[in-house]
A and B are shown apart, each in its own frame.
Chain A
Amino acid sequence: MTGFDLFKEMDSFTREMDQVFRDLGFGRPLVPGSTYRGYPRINLRENQDAYILEAQLPGIDPKALEMTILKGTLTLSGERKAPAEEQGTWHRRERGYGKFMRAIDIPAEIDGDKVRADYKDGLLTVTLPKAASVLPKRIEIQAN
């Protein structure tokens, strides 16, 4: 109806690389609010021991999600299937369909063996534990 092809829009983002995380740590301020860079939308936060990535993936079979980590880059790909066409009229079609892929650079070294991913209510949460080499170490001071 709007002449706006969402399928195309999703596809054009597929090979986009996220520069954002590279910019982290170089003193550039983060823009508050949201910056839409592709599909799915992601949030990244950090706590003491891990990075936590959340991706909005409603209506996706988690088994069909492909996730790999290579040299600090997490790649997420999959497909959201369009519903079967029936006889009738579409009044709105805002939800996108099609294949997607996103590559996300994780700002520090992570322990690839301990990464955990959970899918619940259309939200994918990936916990990426920081590698021991980047965790702060407490140094005991000897009092003589």
Chain B
Amino acid sequence: MKNNEITLHKENSPAVAEKDRAAMIAPAVDIFENDDALTLVADLPGVSKEQLELGIDRQVLIIEGRLDRAEEGALYREFGGNGFYRRFHLPENLDLNQTSAELKDGVLTLRLAKAASAKPRRIEVTVH
């Protein structure tokens, strides 16, 4: 194992008394790490920019996509209209000021840059 590998913890257990969120679905995500950043990609079909709420609070990343969908006349359903909600515990060695997010065609791409101290450094060996 590399020393500077960032590990993502499992998301916190869902908080109680959040009935609204109990009906929401955890979106499927990909999380990719390279030397510079962690990239999180989440599927949020049907969520527009206005409905997306992204937050980082005390190292907890919250992704919330609210949906308000017409459900009348439903004949057959494989997905609900309650939206998406998921939380992740972030590692400490990120530079959160450099976070960037993009939402396109219902796919959220979140780039979390690593702090300079967490990036691997190459040490030159001088041969005398």
Contacts and interface: CB of A to CB of B under 8 A. Distances in A.
The reply to whether chain A is a binding partner of chain B is yes
B34 A88 contact: yes
Q: Contact residue range for chain A?
A: 35 or more
A84 to B, nearest CB: 11
Nearest to A59: B107
Contact of B29 (A34, A35, A47, A94): A94
Given A88-B32, A94-B28, A30 B76 contact: yes
A101 interface: no
A93 B42 CA distance: 10
B33 A89 contact: yes
Secondary structure dominating the interface of A = loop
A58 B32 contact: no
Interface in A39-76: 41-47, 51, 54, 56-60
B44 A58 contact: yes
Contacts of B16: none
Contacts of B78: 34-37, 41-43
A121 B79 CA distance: 16
A135 to B, nearest CB: 15
Contact of B45 (A21, A47, A92, A122): A122
Contacts of B8: 91-92
A33 interface: yes
B75 A30 contact: yes
A98 interface: no
Contacts of A122: 43-47, 105-107
B30 interface: yes
A106 to B, nearest CB: 10
A85 B72 CA distance: 43
A45 B73 contact: yes
A92 B29 contact: yes
Contact of A33 (B5, B44, B77, B104): B77
Interface string A93-134: 111100000000001000000000001111100000000000
A83 B28 CA distance: 15
Given A58-B44, A59-B107, A122-B105, A95 B71 contact: no
A26 interface: no
Query: Which interface residue of B34, B43, B71, B80 has the most chain A CB atoms within 10 A?
Result: B43
6 contacts: A30-B75, A89-B32, A91-B33, A92-B31, A95-B43, A122-B43
Task: Enumerate the 9 nearest inter-chain pairs by beta-carbon distance, A residue then B residue, closest first.
Answer: A122-B106, A88-B34, A58-B106, A122-B45, A59-B107, A56-B45, A94-B28, A91-B31, A41-B78
